[in-house]
Amino acid sequence: MTNQNEICILAIESSCDETAAAVVVNGREVRSNIISSQIALHTIYGGVVPEIASRKHIEKINQVITEALNQADMTLEDIDAIGVTYGPGLVGALLVGVAEAKAISYARNIPLVGVHHIEGHISANYIEHKELEPPFLCLVVSGGHTHMVKVLDYGAYEVLGRTVDDAAGEAFDKVARAIGLGYPGGPKIEKASHEGNPNAIKFPRAHVAGESYHFSFSGMKSAVLNYLNGCKMRGEEIVQADVAASFQQAVIDVLTGNIGKALQETGMKKFAIAGGVASNQTFRSAVKEVCEKQDVLFYCPSPVLCTDNAAMIGAAAYYDFMAGIRSGLDLNAVPNLKLGER
C-alpha cells in the first residue's frame, strides 16, 4: 500500500546477465529487489554469450517484475513511474528491459524514465546511506567500466578519469580464465586469494602518464599471461592462489593509488565506491584505510547492491523523475551511452 508522499518506482535492469526488477520508494527505500542471475548458464562458455543473455531475459522478465511487485505488496496501480536501464550494455539484453518498460508505461499510462547503468551503480550508495548527498567522489569499478566520477549533484557528473583499455572487472575475468578459475572471475579470484600470498609475484602497477586519474589494466593482464608462459616454459609450478592474490593486490594498489591522489587534489571529503568489483572485501578494506588516513568519509553499498541489480536503477530513476526527466515511447537501447548524456 502507498501513501501520497511516496513516489514508488518500479525499476528494471537487463543490461548484461542479470534480469532484475525492484520497487523503490522515494529513491532510498527498497521494498523489493529481485535478481535472476544467468551466471550458471554462461559459466560453461567462460563468459557472457549475448544471444543467450537476451533469450533468458525474455523468459525471466515478467516473472521478476511480478515477484518484485508481490514482495513489495503492490500492484501496477501503486506505481508512479517506471525506471529502466537503457545503456550502456549489451544491445539485445538492454532491449528486453526497455521494451518491457515501454509496454507497461503505455498500457498503464505511467511515466517512463530511462536510466544510465553507471548512474545506477553510483546511486546504489544512496540506498543504505540515507545521509549521503552530493557532492562526493565515486569510483565505479565494474566489468565494463572503471570511472573516477565527481558527483556534482543528483544526475550531474564530471568524469575525472577512466580506463584507457580494459575495465578492472574485465581484467579479473580474463586473469581468472587464464589461471583456470573460470567465470565469473572476480569472486573466484577473491576466494582463491585468501589462500595465497599477495607479495609472491611482483606484477607491474601501471600508471597512465599525463592524464591524472586514468587507469590501464591490459598491461597487468599481459604480465600475468607472460608469467604463466614463463613458468610453463621453465617447467615451474604455478601456484594459482599466489597468482590470484598477487594480481588482486596489483589491481587494488593501482585503484587505491589513484583514489588517494584524487582525494588529495580535489579536496573532496566524501568518497564512494560502486560496481561489481566494489564487492571485493580486500578492496573495500584498502579504500576504507585510504579514506581514514585522509579524514574522508567512506561509503560503499552492500555487496548485493554493488553487482547488477534493479534497486540501484530505482534510486537513480527517482532523482531523474523528481528533476522532471521523462523518456518517450521512442526510448531505445544505447549500448555505448556516455555518462551524463541523454
Q: Which stretch binds Zn ion (CB under 5 A): 53-61, 68-76, 301-309, 317-325?
A: 301-309
For 185, other C-beta atoms within 10 Å of its C-beta total 24
Strand residue runs (E) in the chain: 8-13, 18-25, 29-37, 81-87, 112-116, 136-141, 146-153, 156-162, 270-274, 297-299
Q: Please select the residue that binds ligand KG4; options are 83, 87, 169, 314, rule is CB under 6 A.
A: 169
Q: Please select the residue that binds ligand KG4; options are 11, 12, 16, 311, rule is CB under 6 A.
A: 16
Query: Would you say 119 or 190 has its CB closer to Zn ion?
Result: 119
Which cell numbers in the block locate residue 24?
523503490
Sequential DSSP letters for 233-291: HHTPPP-HHHHHHHHHHHHHHHHHHHHHHHHHHH--SEEEEESGGGG-HHHHHHHHHHH
# chain residues binding ligand KG4, by CB under 6 A: 20
The three-class DSSP label of residue 150 is strand
Q: Please select the residue that binds ligand KG4; options are 83, 155, 196, 276, rule is CB under 6 A.
A: 276
119 lies in the binding site for ligand KG4 (CB under 6 A): no
- Interacting residues of 334 by C-beta distance below 8 A, sequence separation 6+: 86, 87, 88, 94
Cα 341 to Cα 34, 86, 89, 162, 221: the distances in Å are 28, 12, 15, 16, 31
Q: Rounded to the nearest whole angstrom, what is the least distance from the CB of residue 98 to ligand KG4 in the complex?
A: 17
Q: What is the CA radius of gyration of the chain?
A: 20
Q: Please select the residue that binds ligand KG4; options are 275, 305, 319, 327, rule is CB under 6 A.
A: 275
* Residues 53-112 within binding reach of ligand KG4 (CB under 6 A): none
Q: Which of 118, 101, 133, 99 has its CA nearest to residue 27?
A: 133
The three-class DSSP label of residue 302 is coil
Q: What are phi and psi of 283, to 5 degrees?
A: -65, -45
Q: Which stretch binds Zn ion (CB under 5 A): 33-41, 134-142, 169-177, 228-236?
A: 134-142
Question: Strand 136-141 and strand 270-274: pairing?
Answer: parallel
For 273, other C-beta atoms within 10 Å of its C-beta total 29
Query: Would you say 69 or 162 has its CB closer to ligand KG4?
Result: 162
* Residues 24-43 within binding reach of ligand KG4 (CB under 6 A): none
Q: Please select the residue that binds ligand KG4; options are 184, 196, 301, 314, rule is CB under 6 A.
A: 184
CA–CA separation, 335 and 342 (whole Å): 13
Q: Rounded to the nearest whole angstrom, what is the least distance from the CB of residue 137 to Zn ion in the complex?
A: 19
The partner in contact with residue 173, picked from ligand KG4, Zn ion, none with C-beta cut-offs of 5 to 8 angstroms by kind, is ligand KG4
Q: Please select the residue that binds Zn ion; options are 36, 123, 125, 142, rule is CB under 5 A.
A: 142
Q: Please select the residue that binds ligand KG4; options are 308, 314, 317, 320, rule is CB under 6 A.
A: 308
The partner in contact with residue 19, picked from Zn ion, ligand KG4, none with C-beta cut-offs of 5 to 8 angstroms by kind, is none
166 lies in the binding site for ligand KG4 (CB under 6 A): no
The partner in contact with residue 9, picked from ligand KG4, Zn ion, none with C-beta cut-offs of 5 to 8 angstroms by kind, is none
Q: Which stretch binds ligand KG4 (CB under 6 A): 155-163, 259-267, 277-285, 319-327?
A: 277-285
279 lies in the binding site for Zn ion (CB under 5 A): no
146 lies in the binding site for ligand KG4 (CB under 6 A): no
Q: Please select the residue that binds Zn ion; options are 123, 308, 312, 319, rule is CB under 5 A.
A: 308
Q: Please select the residue that binds ligand KG4; options are 277, 290, 310, 316, rule is CB under 6 A.
A: 277
Q: What are phi and psi of 264, to 5 degrees?
A: -65, -45
User: Interface residues with Zn ion (CB under 5 A)?
Assistant: 142, 308
User: Interface residues with ligand KG4 (CB under 6 A)?
Assistant: 16, 142-144, 169-170, 172-173, 184-187, 190, 275-277, 279-280, 307-308
